[in-house]
Amino acid sequence: MNVLKVKAGDLVAKRQDKVMEWYLIQEGMVVRQFAFAQSVMARNSIIGIMENEWFSCDYVAKEDCTLIVIPCKNAFDLQMILHEHENFRPIFLRTAVEQRHQLLCLYANLQRKTLLLHSAAETLYNEYKTLCAELLLDEQDFARMEHFEALTMQHKAENWEITNSNSLVKNYLREYMQLMVKDDALCVGAIMEASAQMRRVTQGIGEMVHYLLYNRDILCADSEDDIFHLYFNMAVQLSRKKKDITGAREHMMQIIEQMETLGIYTGHQLEECRSVCENYNFAKASQGRLNVAKEDCVSHILTYAGYEKQEIRSFKQLLEQYRSLPDMQSTDNDARRLRREISKVFYDAYEKAFLHSMEDAQKPSPILLLFFNFGFMDVGLLGEENTNALYNLTDSLGLFESENIYTMYAWLKSIYFGKKEPSRNEFDQDYRGYLKEQQRLGEITEEQYEEYQNDVYRKIEFEIHNMFQTGHRVTYGRVSSFCPIIADYDLINVVEKMAVTAERIENAINKVRQLDYSILYREVLFSDLEKGINQEWIMKEVMPDVILMPNAGSKGMLWQEVSGTKNDTPARFIFPILTAVDVDEQMVENMGRYRWEICRRIQGVYWNDIRDKSLTAEYYDYIQFYKKNHELSADAKEKIKTALGRARNNYREVFVKDYQNWMKYEAQGSFRLNKVVRDIFVRYCPFSKEVRQSLASNPLYQSAFGKLDAENRKKAQRLAALYDKYEAAGGELTSDLKENLRFYQM
């Protein structure tokens, strides 16, 4: 077992990374992070013991640490380790029991906070309404409360689990340990049982963290659309009427106390609220918080984008004509013309407003955030209730972003600051390829070509005019009636349920990875001539970038299978930021397209050459010559003919439908594919080891799975021998090399 040294502040393991091994903390402390919720892992704690396929949170070194790397991923590995190292039995068992207890305590703490947030909001809001009635004050609307409900847990820990763990750890741990370490089966079983329980509890913790992050702005929000400011405005009304504001101020102080207890607000928010309570002159305050539904949002956005008053008036008239149509979703000439003119202004304003926001020292207003992230411009189109519901999301935009998931606004920022390059256009040209073509056509000079390569303004223009405009329309789902401004007819459910958060996208990707384990792996070249490795192709997982289009749509889309010229750069998917369709099903469909396109790219001109075996070559050959294939029944041939007709002879789309059946039905042992297709999928889109084991007894899979497992064992043995020589020569097994070995063990 190797020893790993980690500096304070370094990331030991990252959320969503594959679990390659466990880490036993020998010295130092590591923080387990669930957004604002944290727990500290001390000496003898084990990182990875509660995980399954991927790390469920970030692990960051709190101080300099020494970690023992344990080659363990499952019960079989654990049994082998404990059999060889009996002294590990009490360490592993104790840490499993204690880490489970630590997580259950965190779970219980968060459970109290979710209940407190809900009950506090309900009580304070009801008291606000009662006070307004008693004091004859104007009650302000707060539509958010109409949809605010207590959390319903999917992954729940029962109270008896918490009390059981508490009693065990505090009273009977020694006796429990003495019994369990006597036998490998007992010890491994107890550890794995605790591990499975920890995974469920961790999922519950994730649910509660998400609930608190999403709903904390009910009490206090940067947008001031919250219960705290309901009482603030009550105090303003009372001051103007020369009445006592003590009651309103006391309720504001109660909110601050609840905020402190919850521990989910920034120090700045608490300080600002406290300062208002203690020092604010309510008698001189302007009454009322921002009510976005009452604002002139069109003027606000277009003025920020640099439009003149006459231009703004013209656009408002255009919107009025559009709203006056008997059917705004009509495809007649008048409706199409109006949508075309509206679209022209929308994207021009988006580009100008975005660039202004990059140069502006102040954070964009909530109205601009609605425009940038959700495609909002006009209350008349969306309606007051929907506008206010959407407005409430501006305080929770972080829920729509992660390391690989972006809102459209965040994506353009990443291009502006040079972290990402613009996407390819509909002619499959990247930004530099487009400039080169412009130079060839004489549209720009060689000097301009060199100058424009790093011009962020032109990069933003390229991205908006190409990927954004096309992707915006396609993800909407109804191309013929597409309007870029979000409208009430787009929202067929409440906003909160339609929101496509980063968590929803990550879960959808992980469900695909759990079945089709090799889906995101690419071959990359590794070499270390000094240590004896000349050229070794290794498998590396490359997570895709997902950009959320500012619309309420019904389709996801694979935009490009790689980001740049290299095959190990992330794919790019686009999804609507609001949707009523099943994100999981959309992800499977588009991962099928990705499977096809990445194979085509890697194979190049040989993508359909059966002499060079590949997924696309074999599937193409199967479809092209299905009529002559003696392995196919007459019924199977008829189904292929029908599938080709539905797909308009697009072989890729026929493949995608088969891939969906493979993932949805065949993985469960329900057979929907013919034997020729099944053979192709077994070899090129194999199921994970767990799924293969569950299906191995079926004769339709037995032979193919056995052959795949034998090939993987052979490759794993060769790699293990190669790595031993490499380490003996002084080489270090990087995470990429370990991941490559694990790939053939899955």
> Do 469 and 491 belong together in one domain?
yes
**Of 605, 430, 400, 588, which Cα lies nearest the Cα of 496?**
400
Look at residues 284, 315, 330 and tell me which one is the last residue of a structural domain. Answer: 284
Residue for token pair 């889309």? 557
pLDDT at 285: 67
Q: Is 486 exposed, middle or buried (0-12, 13-18, 19+ CB in 10 A)?
A: buried
What does the block give as tokens for 583? 């994100």
Structural domain contains residue 492 = yes
For the chain, the straight-line distance linking the first and the last C-alpha, in angstroms and rounded, comes to 21
Look at residues 590, 617, 636 and tell me which one is the last residue of a structural domain. Answer: 590
Residue for token pair 């009523």? 580
Structural domain contains residue 115 = no
> Do 389 and 471 belong together in one domain?
yes
From residue 62, give the alpha-carbon distance in Å to each of 9, 30, 38, 282, 735.
Answer: 6, 5, 11, 45, 21
**Virtual CA dihedral for 508, 511, 516, 519, nearest 10 degrees?**
30
What does the block give as tokens for 629? 């294939």
> Do 268 and 299 belong together in one domain?
no
Query: How many domains in the chain?
Result: 3
Cα separation, 77 vs 69, in Å, equals 13
> Do 277 and 309 belong together in one domain?
no
pLDDT at 286: 58
What does the block give as tokens for 158? 């029962």
> Do 429 and 504 belong together in one domain?
yes
> Do 250 and 374 belong together in one domain?
no
3-state secondary structure of 552: strand
Structural domain contains residue 622 = no
Structural domain contains residue 566 = yes
Alpha helices in 168-243 (DSSP H): 173-180, 184-215, 227-240
> Do 274 and 381 belong together in one domain?
no
Cα separation, 539 vs 742, in Å, equals 9
> Do 436 and 347 belong together in one domain?
yes
Alpha helices in 542-633 (DSSP H): 583-603, 615-624
CATH number at residue 29: 2.60.120.10
Q: What is the DSSP letter of 545?
A: E
Structural domain contains residue 732 = no
**Of 243, 20, 22, which Cα lies nearest the Cα of 135?**
243
pLDDT at 580: 93
CA angle 21, 72, 61 (to 5 degrees): 35
Cα separation, 303 vs 291, in Å, equals 19
Cα separation, 524 vs 650, in Å, equals 30
Do the beta carbons of residue 496 and residue 456 sit within 8 Å? Answer: no
From residue 455, give the alpha-carbon distance in Å to each of 360, 432, 556.
Answer: 19, 11, 30
Sign of CA dihedral 687, 691, 693, 697: negative
pTM higher than 0.75 for the full model? yes
> Do 396 and 428 belong together in one domain?
yes
Cβ-Cβ contacts under 8 Å for 286 (sequence gap 6 or more): 236
From residue 89, give the alpha-carbon distance in Å to each of 46, 58, 80, 81, 185.
Answer: 13, 26, 11, 9, 11
What does the block give as tokens for 661? 């059946």
pLDDT at 288: 52
Characterize the bridge pairing of strands 572-579 and 545-553: parallel
Cα separation, 280 vs 248, in Å, equals 13
SS (H, E, C) 319-362: HHHHHCCCCCCCCCHHHHHHHHHHHHHHHHHHHHHHHHHHHCCC
Structural domain contains residue 178 = no
Look at residues 590, 606, 622 and tell me which one is the last residue of a structural domain. Answer: 590
Q: Report the run of H or E that residue 573 belongs to, with start and end.
A: strand 572-579
3-state secondary structure of 526: strand
> Do 268 and 298 belong together in one domain?
no
Structural domain contains residue 173 = no
> Do 251 and 391 belong together in one domain?
no
Mean pLDDT per 10-residue interval, the chain, length 746 residues: 90 87 94 90 92 88 94 85 88 94 96 97 97 92 86 94 95 94 90 94 94 94 90 91 92 97 93 90 65 85 97 97 95 95 98 97 93 97 92 90 96 97 91 94 94 96 97 96 97 93 95 96 93 92 97 97 90 97 97 98 96 97 96 96 96 98 95 94 93 88 87 93 92 88 86
Domain containing 398 equals: 291-590
**Of 590, 589, 614, which Cα lies nearest the Cα of 602?**
614
The neighbouring-strand residues paired with 499 are: 578
> Do 272 and 321 belong together in one domain?
no
Structural domain contains residue 696 = no
